[in-house]
Structure 1
Amino acid sequence: MSMDEYKQVFLESIDAIENISKHLQPKMPLLSELQLTTRQESIMILFIRQENITMSEMAERLGISKSAVSQAMNKLEKEDLLIRSINENNRREITMRLGETGIELKRQFQAFERSIIQDYIAQLPLEDIKKVRDVIVALDRIIQQGETTKDV
């Protein structure tokens, strides 16, 4: 396969993912209403999926500084999505929990995931879904290895 063919398949894949996103976005009305930045949305989705994550772990997972996470948190607190507080057992540590709006967003997000799986993903053979997952995981590994060797 030539580089042009790889490029074509890659661009078609990106277009399909963007189209999927565009069609599914209305299923999360609260997320649209909040007008969060991409970083703030990423923080919320990460926290919804893993509520015991620390700000340091969040920064590492998102590839941003702790300061950037902290800045994004200001808007999330203002919207009552996340609440930061000092850990009484270790006063140097900040804990986070969902605020009332965050709890509603989590409920919508879980309903959204169930809906997508039931309405669309379950229409595809499970083996095909597993192959897509395997390809994405393999691509992630290749990219990580490539970026790691560039840093050396």
Structure 2
Amino acid sequence: MSNIDDYKQVFLESIYSLENISKYLQPKMPLLSELQLTSRQETIMILFIRNENITLSELSERLGISKSAISQALNKLEKDNLLIRSINEQNRREITMTLGETGKELKEQFEAFEASIIKDYISQLQLEELKQVRDVIKKLEGIIQHGEENNE
């Protein structure tokens, strides 16, 4: 039977590998490095690139931080012309966001980055292996979610 140290070792090795993957791939996104965004700002941009209809409330919920914290992070993104905030003309209490020119450039780079990662690396795995990784991650997500809900 495995003990807690075995689980810890495998977990830490997995985290270390993910950190290394990130380190190896980061140069493929030069604009992201140049912008010197915080990890929160990077996450907001990636979420927005993947779903341009996401609202401030959805970002807040997804990241587990206040709308005020999201708004503060958006200030730099707006200053760097990554995102543009405007008032929704249909509901004047709602803010809409669109990609600025730098944001559009980042989106193109991000989509090219994803395509190259899939072509160059991910496709070297068997689809079944990739599905197993996905399933284990989703299972862990469910275990953590259930555990956290029970702790509330």
TM-score bracket, normalised by the shorter chain, equals over 0.9
For residue 59 of structure 1, what is the aligned residue in structure 2?
60
CA deviation after TM superposition for structure 1 residue 2, in Å: 1.2
For residue 70 of structure 1, what is the aligned residue in structure 2?
71
For residue 13 of structure 1, what is the aligned residue in structure 2?
14
Give the partner amino acid of 1:8.
Q
| Paired residue secondary structure (1:112) | helix
Question: How large is the Cα RMSD of the aligned pairs?
Answer: 0.4
For residue 149 of structure 1, what is the aligned residue in structure 2?
150
For residue 126 of structure 1, what is the aligned residue in structure 2?
127
Write the deviation string for residues 37-80 of structure 1: whole angstroms up to 9, x where unpaired.
00000000000000000000001001111000000000000000
CA deviation after TM superposition for structure 1 residue 113, in Å: 0.2
Moved over 4 A (4+): none
Give the partner amino acid of 2:140.
L
Distance 1:47 1:71 in 2: 16
Number of aligned residues: 151
Distance 1:59 1:28 in 2: 25
Q: TM-score, normalised by structure 2?
A: 0.99
Distance 1:94 1:116 in 2: 34
| Paired residue secondary structure (2:128) | helix
| Paired residue secondary structure (1:130) | helix
Contiguous gaps of at least 5 residues in structure 2 = none
Contiguous gaps of at least 5 residues in structure 1 = none
For residue 115 of structure 2, what is the aligned residue in structure 1?
114
